[in-house]
Amino acid sequence: MEKAVIFAGFGGQGILLAGKILARAGMNRGLEVTWLPSYGPEMRGGTANCTVVVADSPIGSPVVDNPEALVAMNAPSLDRFEGRVAAGGVIVVNSSLVKRAVKRHDVRAVPVPANDIAAELGNPRVLNMVALGALVRGLDVLPLEAVEEAMEEELRGRGRDKLIELNRRALRRGFSEAEKYLA
Amino acid sequence: MSRVLMRGNEAIAEAAIRSGLKCYFCYPITPQGELVEYMARELPKRGGVFLQAESEVAAINMVYGAAAAGVRAMTSSSSPGISLKQEGISYIAMARLPCVIVNMMRGGPGLGNIAPAQGDYFQATKGGGHGDYHLIVLAPSTVPEAAELVRLAFELSDRYRVPAMILADGMIGQMMEPVELPEPVEPEDIPERPWAVTGAKGRPKNVITSFDLEPEGLKEMSLALQETYREIERNEVRWEEVETEDAELLIVAYGTMGRIAKTVVRLARQEGIKVGLLRPITLWPFPYEPVRELAERVRTVLTVELSAGQMWEDVRLAVEGRAETPFYGELGGVVPSPKRILEEVRKYVG
């Protein structure tokens, strides 16, 4: 098993952290992982993406032609990466910001209004966890609990403890949103 | 031992501290900023000295001084910054001082950009600064290997009194992977330095110098240095082979390209193309013999590099016409995907 995910969106949407939490969850469950960020001279509001590979054997290339999943948090990200997703793969689209549908018919589209759900949960910044929850359902290689644990490790003890429960709710909400399209 | 998710830059810094690093001098540059930050935060807490110098030239000369005083010393930078350090590195090489230099290469020449590139191969392996000298050059292809090779760099540098370089790029520096960090060394594990300038009270004075104005004297120093290089060439060549047993085409690639090439080998074999990989781990000393032996058995030796063909020269010196030796390289910080490299492979098989 080797699966790759591209997370892409605006800088500030928590793309890199969402990818890191997935990678940490994989590592904690004994898998091999790579987390490769785009690290160009970007600023908040610019574009950001990262590629996460999760595998049960050593990973060669962290650069991936055709990922099994894409998380597109804004329209430019969907435009840029839609064509590269492997046939049969999953595209999680932040439908709060992306107004068009996924064009591909050989992938499973999961539109999730991440901004709206995050606002509803009380903090617009947890949109990345909503999207990650949906991705975890779509990717189907790690249980949601593993990702919740990794999120807790990532936030605990860094002045963000009080955000753990909120982020957990966001992950679960994203997971169940995806269920509507993938069940 | 538990695994930690770390960036390459952080893993290198932590491995250096666990290897008994006492002095780290730097001048910041992307894409190795996290290494500097990590050192600034951690090294002083753990009994070492972190100093951000006024320039790269100052930083390497501080390394020269600290190494002469007998402690494990290190600096890090990226391509243009490493160019600025070359004079000091040449002095350190001739003064026979151990130290570790990290180069997280970026696109070049000139200011270039901060994307992954391998254009500093000549500079790293053929001397770099002025005069007849070499560095021991280690090229990690993963984050855990970077941590491992930092430990090895300190050990080899101490054993031979030759500076060692970790040559990687922004991809290795920026990406995260699970790492098993090396155990911290005990002070008694670090070789004694009877040559160090530590104060000569009660013993004959030690002299650390990179020069002798008398040609015969300088010749002696140079010959001793060359003798050490021959010894390193005999003892320290390191490389990895993947699926070379029945290979018809051999890829030679190092660092970032070495790991991407592993995926190429897998993809090619799924199509029934017999591809193998030789990944040099020491770029100097270069694995000439292993490449030569494999060249006897394959039809094609394809060098894949993020440069215009630098390691390619060493590959051709090793192959010496035993096989065809095509080259595929990318420039400017462009990193080819496994499929792109597979297209190159297909040109030479079938």
pLDDT of residue B1: 58
- Which chain A residue is nearest to residue B113, measuring alpha carbons? A40
**What percentage of chain B carries pLDDT values higher than 70?**
100
Please indicate whether, in this complex, the C-beta atoms of A33 and B339 are within 8 angstroms of each other.
Answer: no
Please indicate whether, in this complex, the C-beta atoms of B3 and A27 are within 8 angstroms of each other.
Answer: yes
Q: Give the closest residue to B9 by CA, choosing from B190, B26, B1.
A: B26
> Residues of A numbered 142-181 whose beta carbons fall under 8 angstroms of chain B's beta carbons: which are they?
none
Round to whole Å and give the CA distance between B25 and B35: 11
* A–B interface: beta-carbon pairs under 8 A: 63
Please indicate whether, in this complex, the C-beta atoms of A33 and B174 are within 8 angstroms of each other.
Answer: no
Q: Which residues of B touch A33 (CB under 8 A)?
A: 5, 176-178
pLDDT of residue B328: 98
Span A137-165, pLDDT tens digits:
999 999 999 999 999 999 998 788 889 99
Instruction: Write down the mean pLDDT value for chain B.
Output: 97
What ipTM was predicted for this assembly? Answer: 0.95
**Assigned architecture for domain A2-182:** 3-Layer(aba) Sandwich (3.40)
Q: Give the closest residue to B173 by CA, choosing from B339, B301, B7.
A: B7
Round to whole Å and give the CA distance between B144 and B1: 13
Segments of chain A with pLDDT less than 70: 40-44
Residues 6+ apart with CB under 8 A from B161: B96, B97, B98, B195, B228
Q: Give the closest residue to A36 by CA, choosing from B34, B180, B143.
A: B143
- Cα distance from B305 to chain A (closest Cα, Å)? 14
Please give the average per-residue pLDDT across B277-301, as a whole number: 98
Given its phi and psi angles, is residue B314 left (phi above 0), alpha (psi -120 to 50 degrees) or beta?
alpha
Q: Is the predicted pLDDT of residue B31 greater than 80, yes or no?
A: yes
Burial class from Cβ neighbours inside 10 Å (0-12, 13-18, 19+) for residue B159 reads middle
- Which chain B residue is nearest to residue A62, measuring alpha carbons? B260
Structure token digits, residue A168: 């957990």
Please indicate whether, in this complex, the C-beta atoms of B175 and A64 are within 8 angstroms of each other.
Answer: no
A1–chain B Cβ distance below 8 A for any pair = no
A90-94 and A108-112 beta bridge pairing: parallel
A37–chain B Cβ distance below 8 A for any pair = yes
Round to whole Å and give the CA distance between A174 and A94: 11
Give me the residue spans of the domains in chain A.
Answer: 2-182
Please give the average per-residue pLDDT across B104-122, as a whole number: 95
pLDDT of residue A126: 97
* Mutate which: B263, B277, B304, B342, vs A, most A CBs within 10 A: B263
Of A27, A33, A36, the CB nearest to B171: A36
pLDDT of residue A46: 77
Backbone angles phi, psi at B202, to 5 degrees: 80, 5
Q: Walk me through the domains of chain B, giving residue ranges and CATH numbers.
A: 4-199+223-235 (3.40.50.970), 239-346 (3.40.50.920)
Q: Give the closest residue to A135 by CA, choosing from A166, A181, A102.
A: A181
Round to whole Å and give the CA distance between B278 and B291: 7
Q: Which residues of A touch B177 (CB under 8 A)?
A: 33-35, 59
**Opening angle at CA A74, ends A73 and A76, nearest 5:** 130
A83–chain B Cβ distance below 8 A for any pair = no
Of A20, A41, A63, the CB nearest to B260: A63
